[in-house]
Structure 1
Amino acid sequence: MNFEVWPEAIELGEMFADAGYELALVGGPVRDLLLQRPSHDLDFCTSARPEEFEPILKRWGHDGFWDMGRKFGTLGALRRRPDGTEVKVEVTTYRSDVYDPESRKPEVSYGDSLEGDLSRRDFTVNAMALRVPQLEFVDPFGGANDLQRKVLRTPVDPRQSFDDDPLRMMRAVRFVAQLGFSIEPETAEAICDMGSRLEIVSAERVRDELTKLLLSDRPRAGIEAFVDSGLADIVFPEIPALQLEIDEHHRHKDVFEHTMIVIDRAVALETGPDGPVPGPDLVLRLAALMHDIGKPKTRRFEPGGKVTFRHHDAVGAKLTRRRLKALRFDHHVVDDVSGLVDLHLRFHGYVDEPWTDSAVRRYVKDAGPLYERLNRLTRADVTTRNRRKALVFSTAMDEMEQRVRELKEQEDLKAIRPDLDGNEIIAELGIEPGPEVGAAYRHMLDYRLDHGPVEHDVAVAELHRWYDERNADQ
């Protein structure tokens, strides 16, 4: 095979060879070379121990060096090209990652050959190597053939592989999403049988795999593989729970299938880098995945065969917060995704009866920085096959968004505040700071949302009117 390899990789290989050590490009970069896909970071493995290759790597990477992975046998370095682009490399000693049955973290033991290192990797398509500087292609497990067939298969017996590192099962469904591959039957069977082994893996590592899956080009395919494999039952049970049994009269949609369609539609509604929701957007995709997870708990069969899911938005928001916290997502992600789930039905009332300007202001204020994502989630959630209903909904959303644009030209909806602040309220009413000031502030905020910005004397008159009426009632 002929390879066009980064000159920096060749140079690093020559430096290792001069010192008497083997060096090979491994894993994803080799796979991407064969797929003719760009790789931004280069992974290598070597016969040298970290303390032996550290000075070589520091000489090569004169623009940066890091050793956070030292305990795993990994060191990294950075070099900047004259055009400003960066080449990042990580070099790891030949190794084996093995889990103790009771441990949540892998133990590291060093190996002594490239072929042995490759045998311990997750899948054959990642168990190929390119020795540098000689450019010798090494493929002991048929990875190139599996790459051509778009099949995921483990280099060794899948049960041994997943026992050594259970996270590889999550990687399998992630690669379904990222690469569009299928999982080889024996490997898929092992995943179904061994899913409970994932329980020893830390939530953070599972979260990272799930994040990569969702940010891929094919998140729906990955989620379907995640559920079909049984892995979701272990780490994200709210998703397979959406596979509700359809009642005999088909009074409600297949909620799981609906969710998959919503994910596809949400991805399609993401924007380019200069748009309001640049894709891939983790918050929007998580919200699309989780927007209906409150339905299984709220499903009710009413008289006459009607099926309802009352308050599934509020229930779903609580479930979303709980699950994302358990998976150790950043608190901003937790807040934003649960907020979108809570708000995802808010717009539907507009379709029946267009809102007042006051209601539009409240919608924008409640959505806050999530406004653009909320509108895209709301649009994606309309999966009806009734063209008339779909058109009515889309037209109503277009109209509401236009009204928001017009209101924004008149006032700053993102920074809506009462026309009087707390200090002005205290001065006008002659009261001390306390709960009464808070009540007055909330009333003036409601007044601002209802009436828009008003002159100062109008706001003062309204404050006194409210205060006098409040005191008269007490």
Structure 2
Amino acid sequence: MDLTQAIQAPIFKQLSKIASEKKQRTFVIGGFVRDYLLGNTEAKDIDIVTEGSGIELATILAETYKPRPKVSYFKRFGTAMVNIKNCDIEFVGARKESYTPDSRKPFVENGTIEDDQKRRDFTINALAISLNEDDYGMLIDPFNGLNDLNNKIIRTPLDSDITYSDDPLRMIRAIRFATRLGFQIEEKSFEAIRRNAVRFDILSKERVADEFNKIMMTPQPGIGLKLLFEAGLLERFLPELTDLQGIEEIEGQKHKDNFFHTLEVVDNISQTTDNLWLRWAALLHDIGKARTKRFDKKIGWTFHSHEFVGSKMVVTIFKRLKLPLGDSLKYVQKLVQYSSRPISLITDDATDSALRRLLFDSGDDMEDLFLLCKADITTKNEKKQAQFKKNFEYVERKIKEVEEKDKIRNFQPPISGNDIMNTFEILEGKQIGIIKEAIKEAILEGVIKNEYKNSFDYMLELGKKLNLKQKN
């Protein structure tokens, strides 16, 4: 198959000329070829493999451009990266690899294009296009990757057990590609993933999290989550999630399968946001239910305080997977902890005080919290679904009315510590904190308005109760 059209760009012509002068067989390989054949012609990353020094080839190519683009060298891996016209081009020498049982880091030797294609993870990623003058543009496809691409199949070039055992990261990559491309993993290949699931434990948590986040950012992450579960991989790094799977029945009363419900919630939220951490909040919103599940003969199954328990579990999960422990963690914790709060405000009996407290607690994340609540509606009954959404929209309107009236979101009490010290004969200490907290509570409860004069008068009353002496 001739793919000359795919490599018409001047950079490929230039590479071909340099490779010919160096007498190095050179090829475009991997994602660029796969994506081009799938109809994506807007490449941002190009992988070049050459039978010789990839670093030397990258250096020579960079020298032909003015101004000379920066070349990033990774000598330990024998690779180099050049950015030309906002496109990252990575160069590597063709190689063959061998592995030891206790590591996914291979022993590397120089090799041919055939050796290099054998070490690739999947047949659709082993596709290569020649940049050599004698067969420029020819597709090099020793493992029928084009056929797999057309049939939407994920398959390994060589024995799947060896491929996955050598580098277990390929197992989660198989699921990531299947999820992203809408492909099926070949049955033999999927069974090999199941057999080799224990090998997953040698991977660094950072690499697992990186691949998992890529699955989470696909249009329908639930597909990948289900495959990870069926393959026996999910329980190896997110057992809290797989613990939600299953339905118990006592005295004829059942609860829903909270694992598969969670997959639906993640897919729902993914239709409305590309915020990775909001998707994580959807993934973990019910994480505390396995630990709080109880059966009460009078009311059936209960999950009391699962949101609070779940928010604490988020920290453990983030630490284990080496996920960011700053604002991202706090954001996910907050949404998990408050994920059921809006439901309690649906009735007309909900007080302005309760609305103000939710507004104050959720702050700038209130809109995201309501996106999560709406995504949590997974009933297949269209009438119920419409009613639930209508209920949440009703609460949103009520909260906006309170916000416009009281200006509560992210508010700071109008009275500062300096105001208190300038009014009373006290220094910094516990009493200042008590007064500020009392003013904040009074505003949230609607006892006083969120403005300076009301707050100042209330502070004077508090001072009298606390027997504080005013300054002259």
Deviation at 1:412, TM superposition (A): 4.8
Give the distance between the partners of 1:195 and 1:60, measured in 2 at CA.
Answer: 47
Which of these residues, 453, 459, 468, is aligned with residue 457 of structure 1?
453
Give the distance between the partners of 1:155 and 1:182, measured in 2 at CA.
Answer: 16
Q: Is 1:262 matched up with 2:265?
A: yes
Give the distance between the partners of 2:174 and 2:314, measured in 1 at CA.
Answer: 25
- Secondary structure at the aligned position of 2:261 is classed as helix
Give the distance between the partners of 1:408 and 1:111, measured in 2 at CA.
Answer: 66
- Secondary structure at the aligned position of 1:155 is classed as coil
Deviation at 1:68, TM superposition (A): 5.5
Q: Is 1:72 matched up with 2:82?
A: no
1:242-300 CA-to-partner distances (Å, cap 9, x unmatched) read 21233163531111221121112111232xxxxxxxxx221121111111121111111
TM norm structure 2:
0.90
- Which residue of structure 2 lines up, in the alignment, with residue 436 of structure 1? 431
Give the distance between the partners of 1:55 and 1:382, measured in 2 at CA.
Answer: 55
Give the letter aligned to residue 106 of structure 1: K
In structure 2, relative to structure 1, the CA distance for the partners of 1:463 and 1:176 (3 Å cut) is: same
Deviation at 1:239, TM superposition (A): 2.1
Give the distance between the partners of 1:455 and 1:304, measured in 2 at CA.
Answer: 48
Give the letter aligned to residue 418 of structure 2: N
Give the distance between the partners of 2:220 and 2:388, measured in 1 at CA.
Answer: 27
- Secondary structure at the aligned position of 1:192 is classed as helix
- Which residue of structure 2 lines up, in the alignment, with residue 424 of structure 1? 419
Q: Is 1:346 matched up with 2:351?
A: no
Q: Is 1:300 matched up with 2:303?
A: no
Give the letter aligned to residue 106 of structure 2: E
59-68 or 171-180: which moved more? 59-68
Deviation at 1:191, TM superposition (A): 0.6
- Which residue of structure 2 lines up, in the alignment, with residue 274 of structure 1? none
56-65 or 360-369: which moved more? 56-65
- Secondary structure at the aligned position of 1:417 is classed as coil
Equivalent positions of 1:246-285 (< 5 A) are 246-247=248-249, 249-270=252-273, 280-285=274-279
Give the letter aligned to residue 126 of structure 1: N
- Which residue of structure 2 lines up, in the alignment, with residue 55 of structure 1? 59
Q: Is 1:110 matched up with 2:109?
A: yes
Give the distance between the partners of 1:100 and 1:58, measured in 2 at CA.
Answer: 37
1:205-253 CA-to-partner distances (Å, cap 9, x unmatched) read 0001001001012211111101000011211112222212331635311
Give the letter aligned to residue 16 of structure 2: G
- Which residue of structure 1 lines up, in the alignment, with residue 180 of structure 2? 178
Matched-pair contact (CA < 8 Å) for 1:365–1:413: yes
- Which residue of structure 2 lines up, in the alignment, with residue 325 of structure 1? 319
- Which residue of structure 1 lines up, in the alignment, with residue 368 of structure 2? 373
- Secondary structure at the aligned position of 1:334 is classed as helix
- Secondary structure at the aligned position of 1:384 is classed as coil
Give the distance between the partners of 1:358 and 1:430, measured in 2 at CA.
Answer: 33
Give the distance between the partners of 1:79 and 1:182, measured in 2 at CA.
Answer: 35
Give the distance between the partners of 1:438 and 1:410, measured in 2 at CA.
Answer: 26
1:179-211 CA-to-partner distances (Å, cap 9, x unmatched) read 111111111111101111111111110001001
- Secondary structure at the aligned position of 2:43 is classed as coil
- Which residue of structure 2 lines up, in the alignment, with residue 467 of structure 1? 463
64-73 or 133-142: which moved more? 64-73
Give the letter aligned to residue 101 of structure 1: P
1:121-167 CA-to-partner distances (Å, cap 9, x unmatched) read 11111111011251121000010111111111100001111122110
Deviation at 1:399, TM superposition (A): 2.2
Deviation at 1:384, TM superposition (A): 2.9
- Which residue of structure 1 lines up, in the alignment, with residue 353 of structure 2? 358
Give the letter aligned to residue 242 of structure 1: L
Give the letter aligned to residue 459 of structure 1: S
1:338-386 CA-to-partner distances (Å, cap 9, x unmatched) read 2211111111111234533332232122112322221111111122345
Cα RMSD between the aligned structures? 2.2
Deviation at 1:4, TM superposition (A): 2.7
Q: Between Structure 1 and Structure 2, how many residues are aligned?
A: 457
Equivalent positions of 1:68-217 (< 5 A) are 69-80=74-85, 86-96=86-96, 98-103=98-103, 106-132=105-131, 134-217=136-219
Give the distance between the partners of 1:455 and 1:67, measured in 2 at CA.
Answer: 57
In structure 2, relative to structure 1, the CA distance for the partners of 1:221 and 1:462 (3 Å cut) is: same
Give the distance between the partners of 2:95 and 2:76, measured in 1 at CA.
Answer: 12
Give the letter aligned to residue 53 of structure 2: R
Give the distance between the partners of 1:173 and 1:351, measured in 2 at CA.
Answer: 40
Which of these residues, 271, 279, 289, is aligned with residue 283 of structure 2?
289
In structure 2, relative to structure 1, the CA distance for the partners of 1:442 and 1:100 (3 Å cut) is: farther
Give the letter aligned to residue 39 of structure 1: A
Deviation at 1:76, TM superposition (A): 0.6
Deviation at 1:471, TM superposition (A): 4.4
- Which residue of structure 2 lines up, in the alignment, with residue 393 of structure 1? 388
Matched-pair contact (CA < 8 Å) for 1:111–1:117: no
Give the distance between the partners of 2:107 and 2:63, measured in 1 at CA.
Answer: 26
- Which residue of structure 1 lines up, in the alignment, with residue 28 of structure 2? 25
Matched-pair contact (CA < 8 Å) for 2:245–2:259: yes
TM norm structure 1:
0.90
- Secondary structure at the aligned position of 1:419 is classed as coil
Deviation at 1:450, TM superposition (A): 3.2
- Which residue of structure 2 lines up, in the alignment, with residue 83 of structure 1? none
**Structure 1 stretches lacking a partner, 5+ long:** 81-85, 271-279
1:87-119 CA-to-partner distances (Å, cap 9, x unmatched) read 22111111345543333x513513321111011
In structure 2, relative to structure 1, the CA distance for the partners of 1:64 and 1:345 (3 Å cut) is: farther
Give the letter aligned to residue 63 of structure 2: R
**Structure 2 stretches lacking a partner, 5+ long:** none
Deviation at 1:25, TM superposition (A): 1.0
In structure 2, relative to structure 1, the CA distance for the partners of 1:386 and 1:353 (3 Å cut) is: farther
